[in-house]
């Protein structure tokens, strides 16, 4: 087949054979978040570029290298969202949600766009499930969000997960740490990668996040940020640890976690999964961003959030051979012989579907033999065959495709009652 156009590199098609897995993951995340009081918000995929330059940071890799930015027909600079937090906070401020009783708990499922080199599990269009808590300065909010993330991962049955936490302090105590970092790396600048050489003056903390092997080795002996944070930030971090310990949440303090975006302060954390003995993958990350509202022109508004990479979650679940629920099969397939029977099948399918029973019928004009083969192929639990004789008698034979048992049922007023008592399969992911 000679298609005139194909999928853009780095984008992805989620086909019906895969979509059930996505739905399962999103359902678990949404249900768990709802139990903690989170409500859904949707924001535009397109925002003014300034939003991300101010929030993410104009020296970050996202802004400098990865954003899809272009001029619209009004000659305004606009950008496809590279992450979900900035747009969510913009919506909160613009629509006055910050005036509601606090805390405000929001969740979102968003497509995001970054111009990165496509590789396994990483796309230029990717999907995030995000959670944000606004209006609480307390470490209890940090702990609640972390515990919620852990419950999601546990319900998805993902193994080999560990929690790593850190505090990167507030903007005041981070100044002292930045000076220490600059002094440390200045003597090693020639060994740093070109990107980190540029970061040294603009954003030295980001060097700690570099994945270059040489830079990572140099970072091993770099000053530790927790030795420089102020008393208030230190107390906040200690309180967070107390909350986590009280709930028997295991964690490791990793002083190298700084996260990749400029808006973070105080608590930062990651859930990482052991892929191999020496290889780990971050599947959930987040942190506190108490100063971002003021940067965007809003009032002081404490906040903490996290994001799950849905592609990474899916890849790990498949690697760990975690069983997903099977695609739903029709409860009943109504096979018809003749035009009158087809109209009756159409009517009966409508009755079943109104009662939330998955029903199918022939709409491509197959003969009865082909209809029966198709019903078996799609895994229909029951088949009901209707012809002129069945219409005349107002009764038809319901065939259980698994047991072969046949039952005569009404196809008039009592039709729906004959389907009562049929047990639906319960998903292993349901509580």
Per-residue DSSP letters for 242-277? Answer: HHHHHTT---EE-TT---SSTT-EEEEEEEEEEEET
Judgement on whether residues 136 and 158 belong to the same structural domain of the protein = yes
Answer whether residue 25 is part of any domain. Answer: yes
Answer whether residue 195 is part of any domain. Answer: no
Judgement on whether residues 151 and 109 belong to the same structural domain of the protein = yes
Four-point Cα dihedral 244, 245, 250, 252, nearest 10: 80
Judgement on whether residues 289 and 390 belong to the same structural domain of the protein = no
Answer whether residue 375 is part of any domain. Answer: yes
Judgement on whether residues 403 and 297 belong to the same structural domain of the protein = no
Judgement on whether residues 124 and 149 belong to the same structural domain of the protein = yes
Q: What are phi and psi of 77, to 5 degrees?
A: -80, 120
Judgement on whether residues 159 and 37 belong to the same structural domain of the protein = yes
Domain boundary among 319, 342, 357: 319
Domain boundary among 319, 350, 374: 319
247: domain range? 16-170+229-319
Domain count for the chain: 2
Query: How far apart are the C-alpha atoms of 177 and 254, rounded to whole Å?
Result: 16
Judgement on whether residues 337 and 311 belong to the same structural domain of the protein = no
Residue closest to 108 by CA, chosen among 123, 88, 90, 93: 88
**DSSP-derived secondary structure letter, 204:** G
Judgement on whether residues 373 and 299 belong to the same structural domain of the protein = no
Answer whether residue 258 is part of any domain. Answer: yes
Alpha-helix residue ranges (DSSP H) falling in 66-170? 85-94, 139-155
What CATH number does residue 408 fall under? 3.40.50.800
Give the pLDDT of residue 180. 87
Answer whether residue 336 is part of any domain. Answer: yes
pTM higher than the cut 0.75: yes
Judgement on whether residues 133 and 272 belong to the same structural domain of the protein = yes
Query: How far apart are the C-alpha atoms of 361 and 334, rounded to whole Å?
Result: 5
Answer whether residue 293 is part of any domain. Answer: yes
Judgement on whether residues 122 and 20 belong to the same structural domain of the protein = yes
Domain boundary among 297, 319, 341: 319
Judgement on whether residues 137 and 238 belong to the same structural domain of the protein = yes
What CATH number does residue 279 fall under? 3.30.930.10
Residue closest to 319 by CA, chosen among 284, 285, 279: 279
Query: How far apart are the C-alpha atoms of 134 and 95, rounded to whole Å?
Result: 14
Answer whether residue 372 is part of any domain. Answer: yes
Answer whether residue 184 is part of any domain. Answer: no
Degrees, nearest 5: CA angle 20-26-30: 145
pLDDT per residue, tens digit, the chain (431 aa), is 888 999 999 899 999 989 999 999 999 999 999 999 999 999 999 999 999 988 876 556 666 678 999 999 999 999 999 999 999 999 999 999 999 999 999 999 999 999 977 666 678 999 999 999 999 999 999 999 999 999 999 999 999 999 999 999 988 887 888 888 888 888 888 888 888 888 887 778 778 877 788 888 888 888 888 888 999 999 999 999 999 999 999 999 998 887 656 678 899 999 999 987 678 889 999 999 998 999 999 999 999 999 999 999 999 999 999 999 888 899 999 999 999 999 999 999 999 999 999 999 999 999 999 999 999 999 999 999 999 999 999 999 999 998 888 888 889 888 888 666 433 333 333 33
Query: How far apart are the C-alpha atoms of 14 and 193, rounded to whole Å?
Result: 37
Which residues pair with residue 398 across a beta bridge?
384, 407
Question: What is the C-alpha radius of gyration for the chain, rounded to an integer number of angstroms?
Answer: 28
Judgement on whether residues 138 and 253 belong to the same structural domain of the protein = yes
């Amino acid at each position: 087949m000679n298609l005139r156009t194909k999928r853009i590199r780095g984008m992805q098609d989620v086909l019906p054979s895969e979509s059930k897995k996505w739905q399962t993951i999103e359902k678990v995340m949404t249900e768990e978040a709802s139990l903690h009081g989170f409500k859904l918000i949707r924001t535009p995929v397109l925002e003014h570029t300034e939003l991300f330059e101010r929030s993410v940071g104009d020296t970050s890799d996202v802004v400098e290298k990865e954003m899809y930015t272009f001029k619209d027909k009004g000659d305004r600079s606009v950008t496809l969202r590279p992450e979900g937090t900035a747009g969510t906070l913009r919506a909160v401020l613009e629509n006055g949600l910050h005036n509601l009783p606090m805390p405000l708990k929001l969740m979102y499922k968003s497509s995001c766009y970054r111009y990165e080199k496509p590789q396994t599990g990483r796309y230029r269009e990717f999907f995030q499930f995000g959670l944000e808590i606004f209006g609480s300065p307390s470490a209890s909010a940090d702990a609640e969000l972390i515990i919620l993330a852990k419950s999601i991962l546990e319900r998805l049955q993902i193994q080999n997960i560990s929690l790593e936490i850190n505090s990167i302090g507030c903007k005041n105590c981070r100044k002292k740490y930045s000076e220490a970092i600059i002094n440390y790396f200045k003597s090693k600048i020639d060994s740093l990668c070109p990107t980190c050489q540029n970061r040294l003056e603009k954003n030295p903390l980001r060097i700690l996040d570099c994945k270059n092997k040489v830079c990572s080795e140099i970072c091993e002996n770099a000053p530790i940020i927790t030795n420089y944070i102020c008393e208030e930030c230190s107390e906040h971090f200690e309180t967070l640890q107390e909350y986590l310990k009280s709930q028997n949440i295991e964690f490791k303090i990793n002083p190298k976690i700084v996260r990749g975006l400029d808006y973070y302060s105080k608590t930062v954390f990651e859930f990482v999964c052991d892929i191999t003995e020496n290889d780990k993958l971050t599947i959930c990350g987040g942190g506190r961003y108490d100063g971002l509202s003021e940067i965007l022109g809003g009032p002081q508004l404490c906040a903490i959030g996290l994001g799950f990479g849905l592609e990474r979650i899916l890849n790990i679940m498949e690697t760990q051979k975690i069983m997903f629920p099977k695609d739903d099969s029709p409860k009943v397939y109504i096979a018809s012989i003749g035009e009158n029977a087809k109209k009756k099948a159409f009517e009966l399918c409508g009755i079943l579907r109104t009662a939330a029973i998955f029903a199918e019928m022939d709409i491509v004009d197959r003969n009865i033999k082909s209809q029966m083969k198709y019903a078996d192929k799609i895994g229909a639990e029951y088949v009901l065959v209707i012809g002129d004789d069945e219409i005349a008698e107002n009764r038809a034979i319901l065939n259980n495709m698994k047991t072969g048992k046949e039952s005569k049922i009404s196809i008039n007023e009592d039709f729906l009652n004959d389907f009562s008592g049929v047990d639906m399969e319960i998903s292993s992911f349901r509580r």
